[in-house]
Amino acid sequence: MWNSFGFEFINFYFIPGLVLGCIYALGAIGITLTFSILRFANFAHGETMMTGAYLTWTVMAICSGVLGFAVHPLVAAVPATLLVVLLFLVTDRYFYKPFRQADTIKVVMASFGMMLIIRSAVQVIWGPNQLTFVPGIAKPNAYLKDWSGSIDFLLLIPNKHLFIFVGTIAFMMALSYLLNKTRIGKAMRAVSDSPDLAHVTGINVDQVIRATWIVGGACAMAAGVFLAMDIQMLETTMGFRMLLPMFAAAILGGIGKPYGAVLGGLVIGLAEELSAYPWIGDGPLLSPGYKTGVAFAIMVVMLIVRPQGLFKGRSF
Amino acid sequence: MSKPILSLNSLRAGYGQTEILHDLSMFVQPNEIVAVIGPNGAGKSTAIKSVLGLLNISQGSVELHGEVITNTPAAKVVELGISYVPQNQNVFVNLSVKENLEMGAWTRPIGIPERLNDMYALFPDLAEKRNQTAGSLSGGQRQMVAMAKALMVDAKILLLDEPTAGLSPKYRSEIFETIQKIKNTGVPVLIVEQNAKQALAVSDRGYVLVDGANRHTGTGVDLLADREIARMFLGGGH
């Protein structure tokens, strides 16, 4: 049973789907937080992921080229995250803050402009061509391979995927702690609930907005680095391509529901990968080229059937 | 007459270019409940919102303990000790009762556990529901959460905007009883009400607002006994 069906399904469809789902989930958290607290759909979110990956690559390049030692992407991501968060806070102060009282559509358009600005800036600095993030073929984790092989349940999971799983779980736990146990996290939920009430309660809404950018930025950053680790290369359109599935994940989970966004991300990621499994006959059910279409279809169906999402978020 | 805690002096105020309050003066002294009644559109809620800096005051002043706080932003006003419970959406529905109260204490983050206990003592219903989301409570209980949340800042004065709107008679009475309890803890209350009779019955003084200015002023008992006011605002004569 395992050898004929399960092995191929788990290793070549389910695990990659889960990896993709983790990346979508982390990205969707930022989108859903921005949507519920700052009240606009942030089109520049994918570009943040992309910038984070480029900055991480740069830190790695500086370490190996100038300082003479190689660092793991997850280590290099730490200083890169600080830079991205700083960038976020500066753009919020000088770009988004003047729009605070403006109509939502104006802010959305502004974020669209920010998306183009960021991508162009990255193309100017790093060039428009693909860059290799981590060279070589990712081999399956040997220990896991031997152990799972010995119980006749062979798993071929490269280290990069294990890092992505562990990293995503760590982020979820940190986020859950932040939102439920800390003062600023509870205030973020309060502002998401009702900005007007938060205002007359005396909550410092500006501080909450800054916290939102920091949390959303850190999650986007992780998503970007994980994506680069997974596909092992960088290109300036990598973030934009994630935008639709991430929005689909946020909507699926319910706007304003971070846990919903996580669940939505996993569902979309799995659905995209599993749609290419040969469920009927020998060929893939759907050509992998239609992956994004799957996310789009789920989003459209969800908006028609249950616009408030699985977790009863805000509907518009 | 003791010195007023809060006073509104000849206010002209409104939203944008539209002036709603034309010449409004009122004050609240320590240890009293003051009711503001009047027909719809008289500017009752606007009067409260002007204190919170939620609309533009073009003339006149708002004073807290004799200090001018006209057009101070809401967050700052709350910090100064003026607590406000809006009429609608006055609790964070996705937060638990306890979290709502904690948010109420945002501007005064020290000693929260003690004040939580004070509130549970004042609102016993809330103590057992502390871990439920505010959205899962009934309208009356939500109003209790909203008031408790507002009191978490060691309020110098509590402003309530139509606290009994849409509530059942049972909860209405309970809310008015609670307002008296709050007064007895030393926090004066300014209350805007549609249920004028009940409001005046528990109030020390009342203001009748018409067209953005105060038309009548008097003790709660006097206003209740006034035939003209009864005919015009209390729904039928005696």
The Cα B102–Cα A230 span in angstroms is 42
Q: 3-state SS of chain B: helix, strand, coil percent to 5?
A: 40, 25, 35
Whether residue B192 lies inside any domain: the answer is no
CB B8 within 8 A of CB B159: no
Q: Smallest Cα–Cα separation from A187: which of A54, A33, A21?
A: A33
Report residues of chain A scoring pLDDT below 50.
Answer: none
Q: Do A204 and B89 touch (CB under 8 A)?
A: no
What percent of chain A is modeled with pLDDT above 70?
Answer: 97
> Element (H or E) spanning A267, and its range?
helix A258-274
- Asked if residue B31 is part of any domain, the answer here is yes
Global ipTM = 0.88
- Contact (Cβ atoms closer than 8 angstroms) between residue A253 and residue A31: no
Q: Cα(B210)–Cα(B13) distance, rounded to whole angstroms?
A: 15
A interface toward B at CB cutoff 8 Å? 183, 186-187, 189-190, 192-194, 196-205
Q: Has residue B117 been placed in a domain?
A: no
Rounded to a whole number of angstroms, the distance from the CA of A310 to the nearest CA of chain B is 16
Cβ pair B89:A196 closer than 8 A: yes
pLDDT score of A311: 79
Q: So what's the pLDDT on residue A233?
A: 92
CATH 1.10.8 fits A2-305, yes or no: no
Using CB atoms and an 8 Å cut-off, which of residues 29-88 of chain B contact chain A?
A: 52, 54, 74-75, 77-79, 84, 86
The pLDDT, as a whole number, for residue A316 is 53
Looking at residue A94, its pLDDT comes to: 92
Answer yes or no: is B73 within a domain: yes
Residue-wise pLDDT for B77-124, tens only, equals 998 999 999 998 999 999 999 999 999 999 888 889 999 999 999 999
| DSSP-derived secondary structure for B154-189 | --SEEEEESTTTT--HHHHHHHHHHHHHHHHTT--E
* Mean pLDDT of all residues in B15-39: 89
CATH number for the domain harbouring residue B61: 3.40.50.300
Q: Which residues of B touch A203 (CB under 8 A)?
A: 75, 103, 106
Would B47 be classed as within a structural domain? yes
* Residue B216: inside a domain: yes
Residue B10 located in a structural domain: yes
Q: Measure the CA–CA gap between A61 and B34, rounded to whole angstroms.
A: 70
Q: Considering its fold, how many domains does chain B have in total?
A: 1
Structural domain of B13: 1-81+202-233
Chain B positions touching A313 (Cβ under 8 A) are: none
> Does some domain include residue B41?
yes
